[in-house]
Structure 1
Amino acid sequence: MSANSTESFNPFDPTGMLKDVRDAGMQTWAKMMVEAVNTDAYSEATGAMLDAWLVTSGPFREATQKAMEKSLAELNMPSREEITRLAGRLTNIEMRLDDLDAKLDEMLQCLRPSSPTQNG
């Protein structure tokens, strides 16, 4: 127990000692876990588990993706790939319209009279 707990020990607080024991246990567990996580063995084990998970999840993810694409096709809904392609095409159209707008502004600027005194 900590030095503060012995100085402020209250015999009428039955949970005070339990809290001190809990805190000491938590500090011990925290130190032990930090030491365990900072080892090469832990990082190797974690790496091996992640590699195994990636290898096993790849085929499942592909099967899920194919099933989703088939379901969307059956419901006449676009897939993610189709929406991405459409967004690219719309961006291209928007850029072309901006270019046409700029050229039209240039043409209108050339057609305007150069001085306001020519009208009157």
Structure 2
Amino acid sequence: MAVTEAFKEAKWFKGFMEELGCEQKSLIVHCDNQSAIHLSKHQVFHERTKHIDVRFHFVREIIESGEVQITKISTEKNPADMCTKVLPTQNPALQGTGKCGESVQDVLSKEEAGEFC
């Protein structure tokens, strides 16, 4: 499960920042999968979720300790979706900046025009 990996990374990052002397509040992991969010917050006994339980025990423990929180992110606001889905260019997730401060739309326009090798 991707959310388990995200929680491992968040927990490591929180510990790393605290070692550097930067006290960290609870970190937030954004997830676009409603089922993963539900399984991570609530223990569900079902034949289909039996293999998932071990991974989500770790996630549940971290949520209960308050170290990391999990929240829903919509497709419109999820920048990771531009790598996996076809999105309209007016999507707010594409409004950020890319390498060298260029907007993502400018980079995409240059790529379409063949300005990149």
TM-score range, shorter chain: under 0.3
How high is the TM-score relative to the length of structure 2? Answer: 0.18
Q: Which has the larger radius of gyration?
A: 1
The structure that is strand-richer by fraction is 2
How high is the TM-score relative to the length of structure 1? Answer: 0.18
The structure that is helix-richer by fraction is 1
